[in-house]
Structure 1
């Protein structure tokens, strides 16, 4: 630390005031303004590991941390947002009518033939092991799907995946589940036109060497559309009775937590049970709302959004919108009136920066930040029932390039009564789902930029 003992008192005062100003400038985190260094908007080309050995690694499917790196291509935002629109369309449609019955799992179960939201939209993947000897498979991480499935040999109509395809006949722990159908068929028809079908089997699931689950029931797919990239299938983390969480509830008590990384060059984590509680439990809780018509989704009560100098009430909307937290949606969807007010507030804060061309129809409020050493962004706070959640600065914008940085929320014009909180707004948060106690908890995440 510098020694100011021999400075003139007036000079010393000036030095201290300047230092105080610099600290305030660098670390400002008030309701009105967040100072974000421009370098943090630029994703690195190498992977930064923030898991510290915790749980399963959660990685962006197109980033340098992805286990699909052998087939990794540069980020295609057009494709990401096409998938995102399909996902939102699916959720909008499912929200209009009751879902098909999910049935029970386990002995004498009637396993489901059902519909669901488009899972191919999910931008994050995890790797689990199936069978004996274990086959590692990279699956789309999806909190909006119940069924876990992977492509299996023989497969008459499968797409190309990076991992070796699972062959039940080569696993010494494979068996057929008990169900009312002779061959246990499953079929998922998604609202965007994608599909997966095959039959159910049961085999050993390996999450980590310490956590293995015999007789895990999953879909063995033999007929798929080509909407899933080079992943091996989907890991269903919804709260329905056929999901992964339900199957492993005896060990983990229907509790899990994840942290979505703040950039494609970082990884996050997925934790279960006591490990989730140790790393993610907080006092910032909001009730988990159960919808019997759509039991897979995680509904919460979002009553308002504080953004910059303004607070926008959702509870005053008519009717008040329902809110889903969803890992498979990329950018948050809001009622058009709320979106318009946030867009105006964002434009006010960004008025000192040059306007850039719209990135897509979804994100049409963009700015050119080339040459900026730091960027002033309004802070966003999600006001849930019982708790406020202050979002990470990276959750406010989508950076396509330094020349095109856009507001990362969009209007849900088809369903103004449905809010979907997407993965961008969940970045760097620990989100703990405690299904047995019907609550969701939020904390500062450990998977930084």
Structure 2
């Protein structure tokens, strides 16, 4: 997964080979989000924050004092005045110039704005401070967003860690210490523990598929979906470019691809009672009184032959505690046949997902966590 960096110190080379691993949790019960979180320290002395990690964006951020408009979060807001190592980034800095949406304050502070596809957004000052990953591993001068106006669908997590390929992402800022790559495993239960790792070796069972370039989103990670297998039989679908996104819950397929999957899956599930669903989850079943279920297996096939045989938690998703016996097909349609979709975190559960950025490929290792 990793390459040694020319001229790096022996210490950094050793760090790259070993990597650093943070426990990861599905925060649906504790923080009201369907995404995955880790806990990191920020500032000197370090104060700890629980943040979502997101491969679908680059800039990391936390909510900061003073806050004009902050959503309710789990921990106290980050207070820059209480950190000895905090500083704002000036407008002329490279990190500021690389932001897609930025302004400059009258006193030369770089102002950022991040807007997400679901309408959520955060605005504030671009800043630097020490990021503590573990007691023995910290990144001084870590560039992040100090959000003073934040709104949207964030649950109560304290902020976000961006894992894209721009220079402001955590993975890019940690590359000199841990190598150009990272991995994670997303547990299938809120009571389970997975991980987010910077550096380290790929599991021996990982199957790799090449990253494919995107003109519109060049810093993010796209894979080429070439097939779907349901109950051991190939379903004929056109190839599609899929954004792999740890910060999106459900896999979003081109309309024709979704229709082909739906048709086969619904036929094989004909013995189960259908249940009303939601607007975006319309293939639902009521399993009340069923002690054992026979759910058709689903596998996603990517370029190069990498086959991701989904855990059952990646095939069916429960509607929630109000309807504990109802579960729905965990895929949605984009609404058109453009050959672009999203590989969401539900379908990535229990796999060790390896981003080998140095070699431009992504790997999937089965049974990476529970």
Q: TM-score, structure 1 length as denominator?
A: 0.70
Q: Which residue number in structure 2 is paired with residue 244 of structure 1?
A: 170
Aligned partner (choices 42, 45, 60) of residue 130 of structure 1: 42
Q: Which residue number in structure 1 is paired with residue 353 of structure 2?
A: 431
SS in structure 2 at match of 1:169: helix
Instruction: Give the Å deviation of 1:416.
Output: 3.5
Structure 1 residues 157 and 441: CA distance shift in structure 2, 3 A: same
Mapping of residues 29-428 of structure 1, within 5 Å = 55-63=21-29, 66=30, 68=31, 123-180=35-92, 181=104, 182-274=108-200, 277=201, 280=203, 282-314=205-237, 317=238, 320-357=239-276, 359-386=277-304, 387-400=306-319, 401-414=323-336, 416-428=338-350
Kept in 2: contact 1:281–1:432 (CA 8 A):
no
Instruction: Give the Å deviation of 1:309.
Output: 4.7
Kept in 2: contact 1:282–1:441 (CA 8 A):
no
Unaligned segments of structure 1, at least 5 residues: 1-53, 73-79, 81-121
SS in structure 2 at match of 1:345: helix
Structure with greater proportional helix content: 1
SS in structure 2 at match of 1:348: helix
Instruction: Give the Å deviation of 1:283.
Output: 4.7
Kept in 2: contact 1:150–1:166 (CA 8 A):
yes
Q: Which residue number in structure 2 is paired with residue 76 of structure 1?
A: none
Instruction: Give the Å deviation of 1:313.
Output: 3.7
How many pairs align?
Answer: 333
Structure with greater proportional strand content: 2
Unaligned segments of structure 2, at least 5 residues: 1-19, 93-103
Over the aligned positions, Cα root-mean-square deviation in angstroms equals 2.0
1:305-361 CA distances to partner (integer Å, 9 max, x unpaired)?
1112531244xx3xx42111111111111122221222121122222222222x212
Instruction: Give the Å deviation of 1:265.
Output: 2.6
Q: Distance in 1 between matches of 2:149 and 2:352?
A: 36
Instruction: Give the Å deviation of 1:191.
Output: 4.4
SS in structure 2 at match of 1:367: strand
Q: Distance in 1 between matches of 2:294 and 2:339?
A: 31
Q: Distance in 1 between matches of 2:311 and 2:236?
A: 21
Q: Distance in 2 between matches of 1:204 and 1:336?
A: 45
Pick the structure with greater CA Rg: 1
Kept in 2: contact 1:369–1:404 (CA 8 A):
yes
1:99-156 CA distances to partner (integer Å, 9 max, x unpaired)?
xxxxxxxxxxxxxxxxxxxxxxx62221111001111011122110100011111222
Q: Distance in 2 between matches of 1:434 and 1:351?
A: 41
